[in-house]
Each structure stands twice: as structure tokens, then as C-alpha cells.
Chain A
Amino acid sequence: MKISKEEVEHVAKLARLEITEAEKEVFSKQLSDILTFMDKLKTLNTEGVEPTATVLEQTNVFREDKSRASLPVEKALANAPESEAGHFRVPKILEER
């Protein structure tokens, strides 16, 4: 599978990564090599084979619907780059009109 520079740009956008021109070249080649290697999976017959998402046999795990102690606000915010009035602060999302 050949991954073009345009596809690298598209995937980077989906992944919220900024890629430099030099990185585009490198990733295009490396991802092409890796995905070509992965194409060997296509030779295996998996018709009717159930996919494995987890090796565990259990399905849902429930707990009692009771309130429990949680992290205090100041502890939860302690690592935030910016916080204000008990909230995480982020740059403006909406434009002013």
C-alpha cells in the first residue's frame, strides 16, 4: 500500500497533528513500507472468524449505583495549564460577531 503525501496530510488532520514538509516525506515512505508489510494479512482466510476485541470472557461489569468520593476539584485542576473559577480554561472557541 502506497501512502501519498496528500494521504499523510489527511490522516495528520484527523489525528490533530501538525506535520512539517520534511515529516510528510518521511511518513509517506515509512507508512508505505509498514502498510505494505501489513498487506500480508490479506493472504489469510478469515471468513466466518469472529473478531477479537478483548481476550476476556466477561461482558458487562456492573457496580452498585451509589455515589462515591471523587477527586477534589483543586486536585483535578492542579495539573491544568490554565484554570479559573474551578474550571479548565481554554482559548476562545466562538468568534465574536
Chain B
Amino acid sequence: MSLHKLTLRELQDKFTKGEVTAREIVSAYTLRINQVEPKVKAYITRAHESAMAQAETLDQKLKAWRRTMPLMGMPLAIKDNICTEGVLTTCASRILGTFVPPYDATVIARLRGRSYLLLGKSNLDEFAMGSSTENSAFGPSRNPWNLGCIPGGSSGGSAAAVAADECVAALGSDTGGSIRQPAACCGVVGLKPTYGRVSRFGLVAFASSLDQIGPITKDVADAAILLNVIAGHDPLDSTSADLPVPDYTRALKKKDVKKLKIGVPKEYFAEGLDPEVERAVLDAIEELKKLGGEIKDVALPTTDAAIATYYLIATAEASSNLARYDGVKYGLRSKQTKDLLEMYIKTRQEGFGPEVKRRIMLGTYALSAGYYEAYYGKAQAVRTLIRHDFEAAFREVDLIVTPVMPTPAFKLGEKIQDPLQMYLSDIYTISVNLAGIPAISVPCGFSKAGLPIGLQILGRPFEEETALRGAHAYEQATNWRMKRPTIR
């Protein structure tokens, strides 16, 4: 069997047993990437040479003493808004087109500690702002199931790379669905951890109160393995939670959801939900019932206000965070400007793409004198109502299940001219970020056109284990993961 088809767990097993070397792994993936990358365009930067050098060092080290750890020798794709020391990190923006970070993000330092192999930096919407990767300054990635469709976003490159076997697993970031939605579009697994579960140090900030790094993988077990390595307290991120990290793979031992109460919010099955997606998700809920879950209706009445709330808070935070791109310390600087103010303005004009500008404008407006209370202040209060909805629901149930996206992946270009339509496609994923809870996207079927559909499972804060258990039980009871895309 070709190495690139294996899951992280399977490849890890082969590597641990010494059946395959790190060099062989890098060679196999390089071959695979060379084959399909011209079509999929998952990567912004490839790191073949450094990966091969790391692999050689690792193989040498293991010759002397064969002792392996999870993630050792495993070839990953890292979303290009996560800092990798010495490797270009662009955020898919012209303004950071030449930025080589002088340090590693904490998640990368942890992976390096395990001697992982960095295959490359994967594509995204510029500064993670978008739902399709079409906002990348370097061009969109493609959906491996249908090259005319979006891979989702903003971690579309990571999801496409996993689905196309261009890496064994990937890291993404999720501010309003940017891990779960591309995972659903590409038929893979994506986990957004609880806010504070994974350090954000070295993740280029979009909306600091919402951003979270998480795994995108071929199956649920792989997500647990990767989360084990990246989760945990980090003194360098004051918002990372100082709580013990369980072994998430233990959550997978039970192959059922017996004694779990599973909530279904009617607000998530309303107007705008594609009938094929609805059918697939309802069938999945039926399957969870067969696996021993007690299905209950729950109410999340503030759902209708979530998009407006999210796009005020996220853009307000973004307008502050992106103020740092001024042409002084790193990245692009506009040439031949006569004074400092002109340099700032011209640099930002040349460096940012339309969606980033639109969001900076929106956020600046929401924070500006005279509008702060009416927009930003109001959104923060509604955010509290959304949190209360989830707190009340999770007093009744252990998990909540919903669709990930209202439709399967749409066509490239379909929504790019209408930003509001694009924002509306985030309806099922953004509340999770506003409430700070964990959620996982797992494949639950295909549309008639052959595009993957995702099931979203939400859990209580810091109860990733329960969400993983539910997703794993469902995944193991169904065969969706066996179907792989043919790239053409």
C-alpha cells in the first residue's frame, strides 16, 4: 500500500516498528505532492529540502537508539498563519509575502520536540478571513473531490492537503469555522478545541478572543493523537488554560455513545439548509441513537443573531490586530513615500486584499466614536446571550449535533462578489467560537454530485473527550471515511 494513503496512526505504527524510514516517508509524500499539487494547490510554500534534511537527521539518530514518540517522523502541513522559524509564513497576504518568522509558534515548538516533519505551509484566505480560500493573495486551493469547487476556508489548504493525501495530517486555525467547514467540504475530520485549550502564541492574530488552533486529519483517532501533542498550558499565552490535559486517545475506547444525552437544536434545521445536507445529518442522528445516545430537542434561541454578532466582534478585533502592519517592522513597505503617514497608508493599500480591507473598515466603523455602543457594545452583550443559550442547553445534554455548513462545497467564484452571502454560509459554525466551546466536524455522507457532507458535534468547555468519543463512535459505525477522492 502506498504510504500516502495511510492514516497518521497507521503510518506512526509502521515508523515505530521500523518498517519505514523518515526518508522514505518524505520521498513518498514528495512524489504524491508532485503528482497532485498542480491541480489541488494546497500549499503556499513547500519545504521538501528541509523536510528531507530533518528526516535524515532523524533516521541517523534512531539508528543509534530506536526510541519513538507520537508524531515523530510524521509529515504535516501547517496553515500559513502559524509561525515556523526560518520558514516563510505569509498569511496568504502580500503584506507578509517575505516574512520569515524568527521564532516558532508554541504548537510548532511542541511538534519539533517530537521530531515531526514539516512538508509545507498550506493555503488560506488572507489572514484567515474567508470561507473558501478565494481570498488568498496567491490564488485559491481546489476541492480534491471536485476541482471546480471550493475546499472551504479559511484552512482550505490544510483540509485539501489532507483529503488529497498531500500530508498525513495538518494544523488549521478556527475563528468562526475555519477548521470545521473546510474539513466538511473536503470529507476529512476537523477539531476546534475549547478556547484556551491550545496555545495561540505564534498564531498570527485575526480575532484574539475567538482564534484557536486545531487538527485536521483523516479520521477521529488521528485528531486525538495530534491534539494530545498541541494541547496544554503555555506561559507565553496568557489566555491558555492552566488545566491538565487528558490522553484524548482514551476517549476512543468506548465504541458507543451509551448514557450520553445528545441535543438537536431546531434552529439549526431551519430555512436555508440544503435538503441533502439535512437528510445526511438526520441520518447521522439516527445512527447515534442506534449507538445508544438519548436524542433530545434543545433550544438555542439566539442563533439567528450569531452572524451579525460574530462579524462585528471579529472585525473589530481584526481592525485592531491588523494595525501592526504598517511597513516598519516586517513585510511589505511601499516604495518612495514622502513621509511616515503616507508610508503607512500606501503600504496597507498595496499589501491588503479586498476582503481584509472590507473587514478592517467594518471593524473600524463598529469601534468608531458614535457607533461603538450601537454595534460593538451591543454585539458583546448578544455574545453573552449566545453563551447563556449553550450553558442552558448543556445542562440538559452532553453533546449537541448540527450540520457544519448549510450546503456542500459551492463553486469557485459563486459567492466572491457578495460578501454578505459568503458570511451567511458560516451560520452553523460561528456560535461555537463566540461561546468558546469545542466542536468537531466528521464526514456523514455525500451529495448526489459526490461532494462530502459534514456532521458537527459540539461539547461542553474542555470536554473534547466527549465530542471525540461521539465522533469516533459514529465514524466507526459508518463507512464514509473509506471513500477517497479521485483527483482529476
User: Residues of A at under 8 Å CB distance from B?
Assistant: 3, 7-8, 11-12, 14-19, 23, 27, 30-31, 33-35, 37-38, 40-42, 44, 46, 49-56, 58, 61, 63, 71, 75-76, 78-82, 88, 90-93
Residue of A nearest to B308 (CB): A38
Nearest B residue (CB) for A3: B365
Residues of chain A within 8 A (CB-CB) of B357 are 17, 19, 23, 27
- With a CB–CB cut-off of 8 A, which chain A residues contact B103? 71
Contacts A51-B381, A52-B383 given; does A31 touch B358 at CB 8 Å: yes
Known: A51-B380, A55-B195, A79-B331. A46 touches B385 (CB 8 A): yes
Residues of A within 8 A of B110 (CB): none
Per DSSP, chain B at the interface is: helix
Is B446 on the interface with A (CB-CB < 8 A)? no
On whether A82 and B100 interact (CB within 8 A), knowing A11-B364, A16-B344, A51-B383, the answer reads no
Judged by a CB distance under 8 angstroms, whether B238 is at the interface is: yes
Q: Does B349 contact A (CB under 8 A)?
A: yes
Taken residue by residue from 236 to 270, chain B's Cβ proximity to chain A (1 for < 8 Å, 0 otherwise) reads as: 00110100000000000000000000000000000
Contacts of B450 in A (CB 8 A): none
B332 interfacial by beta-carbon distance below 8 Å: yes
- Verify A53–B361 contact, CB threshold 8 A: no
**Which residues does chain B contribute within 8 Å of A17, judged by CB atoms?**
345, 348-349, 352, 357, 360-361
Q: How many whole Å from A46's CB to the nearest CB in chain B?
A: 4
Expressed in whole angstroms, the Cα–Cα distance for A79 and B86 within the complex equals: 11
Classify the secondary structure of A's interface with B: loop
Please give me the residue from chain A that is nearest to B424 by CB atom. Answer: A37
Q: Which residues of B contact A54 (CB under 8 A)?
A: 195, 209, 239
Q: Give B300-311 as 1s and 0s: 1 = Cβ < 8 Å from A's Cβ atoms.
A: 001011011101
Alpha-carbon separation in the docked complex, A91 to B235 (Å): 37
A88 contacts across to B, CB distance below 8 A: 328-329
B361 close to A8 (CB less than 8 A): yes
Q: Which of B338-355 contact A (CB under 8 A)?
A: 338-346, 348-349, 352, 354
Cβ of A72 to closest chain B Cβ, rounded Å: 9
Contact B368 A14 (CB under 8 A): yes
Q: Which residues of B contact A58 (CB under 8 A)?
A: 241
A75 to B104, CA, bound (A): 13
- Give chain B interface residues in 300-342, CB to chain A under 8 Å: 302, 304-305, 307-309, 311-312, 319, 323, 326-333, 337-342
Chain A residues, Cβ within 8 Å of B238: 61
Contact code string B97-111 (vs A, CB < 8 Å = 1, else 0): 011101100000000
Q: Least Cβ distance of B336 to chain A in Å?
A: 10
Encode contact with A along B427-440: 1 for CB under 8 Å, 0 otherwise: 00000001110000
Residue contact A34 to B380, C-beta cutoff 8 Å: no
A30, B308: Cβ atoms closer than 8 Å? no
Cβ contact within 8 Å between B379 and A15 = no
Q: Is B362 an interface residue (CB 8 A)?
A: yes
In the complex with contacts A14-B368, A31-B361, A53-B380, A78-B340 CB distance below 8 A:
no
User: Once the chains bind, are A41 and B382 in contact (CB under 8 Å)?
Assistant: yes
Cα distance, A3 to B363, chains bound together (Å): 14
Interfacial chain B residues near A51, Cβ < 8 Å: 377, 380-381, 383-384
Interface size class of B (residues with CB under 8 A): 35 or more
A56 with B239: CB separation less than 8 A:
yes
Asked if B275 CB lies within 8 Å of chain A CBs, one says no
Cβ distance A55 to chain B, nearest Cβ, rounded Å = 3
A56 to B267, CA, bound (A): 26
Q: Which residue of B lies closest to A81 (CB)?
A: B333
- Within the complex, the shortest CB–CB distance from A49 to chain B, in Å, comes to 5
Most buried by B among A37, A53, A81, A92: A81
A29 to chain B, nearest CB (A): 10
The answer to whether B239 touches A92 (Cβ under 8 A) is: no
Interface residues as binary, B122-164 with A (CB distance below 8 Å gives 1, 0 otherwise): 0000000000000000000000000000000000000000000
Find out whether the CB atom of B305 lies under 8 angstroms from the CB atom of A33.
no
Shortest B153–chain A CB gap in Å is: 18
Q: Which residue of B lies closest to A30 (CB)?
A: B419
Structural contact, B209 and A55, CB atoms closer than 8 A: yes
Q: Is B406 an interface residue (CB 8 A)?
A: no
**A31 vs B364: C-alpha distance in the bound complex, in angstroms?**
12
A12-B361 in contact given A30-B419, A71-B103 (Cβ < 8 Å): yes
